[in-house]
Each structure stands twice: as C-alpha cells, then as structure tokens.
Amino acid sequence: MVEVVTDLNARPSPAWLGFVRTGKARSEIRHRLRTMQYAESVAMGRRLLDRALATAMIDPARVDEPALERAARDAGAGSVEALYADIGLGRVLAPVVAKSVSLIIGTVAEQVIATSMARAMPMVIRGTEGSTVEYSNCCLPVPGDAIIGQMRGGHGLTLHRAGCRNARRLRARDAERWLEASWAEDIKGMFRSRVVVQVRNERGVLGRVAAEIAASGSNIASVSSEDENEQVSLMRFQLQVRDRVHLARVIRRLRRLPQALKIERV
C-alpha cells in the first residue's frame, strides 16, 4: 500500500532533478521552476519599484499604466511585467526606473532619487520571496541580524549581515546596487547558520553535541569534524534555526556540555 500525501502549497525543489527517472518528469519540474522564478521576480520587482518611487516622493498609485509602459520601453523591457521581472532579478535598478518615471510624469525628484539607495525605507524581508532572495553563504544572516541587500544582475537580491566583511568590500566598489533591508515582524521558517564547536576529544562527544542541538529545536544540515590534536577536536555544524534568539539558545545549551571548550558562530 502506498499513501500519497498532498499539499496545495507544495513547491518543487531543484534537488528533485537529481533523482527523478523520466525525461518528462525532469521537463515538467524545470518548467515549473522557471515559472515560479519568473512570478517571484515580478512580485519582487513590483515591491522594489514601489519602494523606490515612494523614496522619490512619488505615490505609486499616481503612476498610470501608460507611464509604466513607457518606462519599460526606456529600460528595454517588452512589457511592464517584464520590467518588474528585470528589476526583481537585478538586471535593472529600481531607482533608475523611478527616475525615468519621474521625468515621464513631470515630477522633479532627481536629487532625492540620486541618494535613494542610502536613504530609502528598508526593504522588508518576509522569508516567502522564494528564489528572488538569497542568503549569502559567506555570513548566512538569520532573522534578528542587521542586514543589507545586494541586487545582483540576473540573480535577484542577496542578503548579507550588515557587518559582513565581504559585503563592505563589495559595497565600496558598487554602492548603487545595495539597499537597506529589515526582517518582517511575523517572519517564519528555518534559516541556515554555521557554528564551530571546539570539544575535548572523547568517545561519543559528537553524539552528545548532536543530541543537545536536537533538543534545542534545531536541525543539523551538515557536519564535519577534524582533530586539532589528540585532546581537542573541531566540529563545524551548519544548522537550521528560526532566528538569532533561537541560535543563541542553541549555543547556550551547547556551552553547558562539560566537553565543550569553545563555541562560536561563523
């Protein structure tokens, strides 16, 4: 007997392409993933443009369809929807389109728009943006961290922790592609974070550490271990946590282990 469990909100994952058996299945999954990415990019682009317009003191409700269509043509997009998708993927910058719109509708806001990336309202991250938002692997931000975002051409928005050294270096070279971001208050889901645990090299210590992580409500996405010397080992965990508070709770619990010598987030 086979039980099939369905979910109206289920979404395919790129990982499925690694184990499906038929070409038809792979084709359907790829088609669905492309459709999802496009729809998510359009939604993200609309949010980014509304934010840029508001920063430029333009009420988005005042911008009619002909003005948007002209802005789309100016940006080389075939339609307003395609313009939104290009903005959502970082191919076109929202402040640039907002400036074009301001000229079309006769609003003088060039100085405001020129500084909008530095003074704009933060982009609110809800955790439901799908493929249009990535969490940078160099610093893995989680809810509760101060964050900034980079619009990468063709890739959408990549989030970094505000103190990330890579982010500071990249922002110094290409400031116009960066925007302030913040987390929604009701954000849900699990987010990746990395923790390094230095422990006494005793039998069964990995199992004890893993048990404490599980007891704290976190999942282990990956783990690696290496010996520093005969007495001390380093364990590198990639965990799934709800937010910064949850991560702190995991770390406090691990620190109670008698075998734990040092624990840090990386």
* Structural domains of the chain ordered from first start: 14-119 (no CATH), 123-183 (no CATH), 191-265 (3.30.70.260)
Q: Given this model, what pLDDT does residue 8 score?
A: 46
Joined tokens for residue 256: 């109670």
CA-CA distance, 145 to 64, in Å (whole number)? 37
Range list of H helices, 59-189: 65-74, 80-88, 94-105, 110-114, 116-119, 165-173
pTM of the model: 0.71
Q: Given this model, what pLDDT does residue 169 score?
A: 94
Q: Given this model, what pLDDT does residue 114 score?
A: 43
CA dist list (Å): 49 to 72, 79, 96, 194: 12, 15, 9, 33
**What does the DSSP 8-state code read for residue 60?**
G
Helix H or strand E segment including 190 = none
Q: Kindly give the pairing relationship between strand 147-152 and strand 123-125.
A: unpaired
Ordered per-residue pLDDT tens for the chain, 266 residues = 555 555 445 566 555 656 667 877 777 766 666 677 889 999 999 999 998 898 888 888 889 999 999 999 988 899 999 999 999 988 898 988 998 898 888 754 444 444 444 455 788 898 888 878 899 999 999 999 999 999 887 778 999 999 999 999 999 998 888 988 999 999 988 999 999 999 999 999 999 999 999 999 999 999 999 998 889 999 999 999 999 999 999 999 999 999 999 999 98
Q: Given this model, what pLDDT does residue 120 score?
A: 58
Q: Given this model, what pLDDT does residue 14 score?
A: 56
Cβ-contact 116, 93 below 8 angstroms: no
Joined tokens for residue 37: 């990415």
Q: Given this model, what pLDDT does residue 151 score?
A: 87
